[in-house]
Amino acid sequence: MSAEFTPRQKVTFLPDINKPGQERTSPRSRMQKKGKETETAQPARSQTPTVSKDEIALFRNSVRQNACVEMLRGGFHRSFSELFSLLQRWKEIRLAAGPGSAIWQHKSLEEQPAKLHTLRHYLTKAETALRAGAWSAVYDQQVFLAQYFREPEDRWLSCHFYQTSLNSARRVKIDGGRKEAEALANMGQVYMEQGQLDSAREQYECFYQLTAGRAWRSEGGRSLHCQACEGLWRVYTQLADRPLQANDYRAAIDTLSKAFQMAKEAGDHRIEGEAAYRVGLAYQCVGDQVTAKRFLNMYMEMSTALGDAGGLGKAYKAIAKSLESEGKLSETVQYLEKFAEVSQGNNQYHNLEEACMCLGVIFNSRGQYERGCTYFERGYEIARDLGEVPLLQRAQVFVGSARAYSMIRKYSRSIETASHSDLLLLTGWKESRQNVFTDTTGSAEGKI
């Protein structure tokens, strides 16, 4: 169409002074030169710009169709069926969830072309490797895809690819099961995230058995066996939550002891300490304080070694609780004071407040109202600084009651005797509400 079209020649009137080295300068000579240039340019320009069939298809068809057709043209029919079934499955899940659910608002994969392209690219690579029989390459591609889909709405895709990577890892015979082990670890993690604890446990147990005795290391330098132990510890700890809620303490203790074993084998003191702590708490719930104290002491030692003040505080608190239920109140007091110190050093004000309250209650129960009162007042101040109303109110009640208890004996005696000095004391107290009773005598306390 534009073959016979000769464009109007654009010729400058004045010569171009910026381009050096030009001899002809009259407009006519410039037109002649321009004419020669356009002649050579014309044959190229005479062809109309054509659009290829592929580009038309890109424009006309949906993204999904283009991706599928590309894959099929290359002969990658397995990638095509995988992609197709994934898209189909997403649609079914969405329909089943209904219009009100969270998934309804999510964009489907078809509306996210970048993700579709990545999927296509890596799936085709995986299939080429599959045809060549190189299962480890297949595994690599699938793991990459699984890690690519990190967003919460793509969690199901990630899970699917971890599953397929496990299947292909099982086919890899050369490296003695190392890829299979890694795949099992990934699957275990996926199940943990989804909350399917039993399946997670199975996967981690297989992982553990595979890595037993082998010195494999992951890229970060950690031994795979340690990872297995840690994974198992986590699973067992979570598995123990259910029987604890059902008050089935024996089962909980069994699971938690297994967790402790695993943590010890992993060789990481931090998790060993935590495991010991949980076991100790479980034994406390059962009532076996001796074993509980043993485990809690272990936790305490480890926390001190690691310098973990928070952990140390928790340990002290738990030990104090044990001792309290055993009835050894002086030791309880000791430990609670240690707890208070540690919390103060660590600026953990909640814990400090709790410690003060507990101490105050113990002193109260022993009749040492003065000391109880001081602790209660300290707790009250902390609660006030924290600004939490329930704690504050509780502290106020305790302070008030402690003060009352400390005064009550003298007060009632004063009322009974009703001598002149006593009456003066009483009216003075009524006026000012100061603690005048204990100040004067000082021997009212300690009389249990």
Partner 1 sequence: MSSTTRSKSHVSVLTSAINPLANPRGAKKLCELCQNLAYLQCTKCRVTFYCDTEHQQADWVGIHEKICQLLIPIRTAMPFHSLQADRDHHRTQILHRQEELIEISRAVAQKKLFEGKYQESLPAAQLSLRCAMDVYGPSAVQLVPAYLLLAEANVGLGSLSQAEGYLSQAEWTVMKTPECSQTVRHQLHRNLGRLYTATENLEGALLHFANDVYYASEEYGLDNIVTCGGYFLMANVFIKQEKMDIASSLYTEVASTWHSHLTKLLETHTPGSMTLEHFFDEAQQAEADQMLRAMLKVPESSPKQATAQNTLVAHSLAMLWFLGGSPDKALEFGRKALQFSQLVPDHSLTEPIQGLLQLVAERGPHLTIAS
Per CB under 8 A, residues contacting partner 1 are 53, 65, 68-70, 72-73, 75, 77-78, 80-81, 84-85, 131
Of the candidates 116, 123, 127, which has an alpha carbon nearest to the alpha carbon of residue 58? 116
Burial of 339 (0-12, 13-18, 19+ CB in 10 A): buried
Shortest Å, Cβ 86 to partner 1: 11
**Pick 129 or 359: Cβ nearer partner 1:** 129
Shortest Å, Cβ 50 to partner 1: 16
Tell me the backbone φ, ψ of residue 134, rounded to 5 degrees: -90, 85
Shortest Å, Cβ 164 to partner 1: 16
**Pick 70 or 353: Cβ nearer partner 1:** 70
**Pick 57 or 212: Cβ nearer partner 1:** 57
Of the candidates 377, 369, 332, 329, which has an alpha carbon nearest to the alpha carbon of residue 353? 377
Place of tokens 């297995």: 228
What distances in angstroms separate CA 57 from CA 93, 118, 326, one per listed residue?
30, 20, 81
How is residue 410 written in tokens?
């003298």
**Pick 45 or 131: Cβ nearer partner 1:** 131
**Pick 68 or 228: Cβ nearer partner 1:** 68
Three-state SS annotation for 289-301 = HHHHHHHHHHHHH
Shortest Å, Cβ 84 to partner 1: 6
**Pick 69 or 206: Cβ nearer partner 1:** 69
Question: How many CB atoms are closer than 10 A to CB 174?
Answer: 9
Shortest Å, Cβ 88 to partner 1: 8
**Pick 75 or 310: Cβ nearer partner 1:** 75
Shortest Å, Cβ 161 to partner 1: 19
Shortest Å, Cβ 132 to partner 1: 8
**Pick 68 or 382: Cβ nearer partner 1:** 68
C-alpha to C-alpha distance for 337 and 330, rounded to whole angstroms: 11
Shortest Å, Cβ 110 to partner 1: 13
Residues facing residue 217 across a β-bridge: 223
Shortest Å, Cβ 15 to partner 1: 53
**Pick 81 or 101: Cβ nearer partner 1:** 81
Shortest Å, Cβ 76 to partner 1: 8
**Pick 84 or 405: Cβ nearer partner 1:** 84
Shortest Å, Cβ 138 to partner 1: 14
**Pick 57 or 397: Cβ nearer partner 1:** 57
Q: Are 180 and 172 in contact (CB under 8 A)?
A: yes
How is residue 200 written in tokens?
């997670």
Q: Are 357 and 379 in contact (CB under 8 A)?
A: yes
How is residue 289 written in tokens?
């304080």
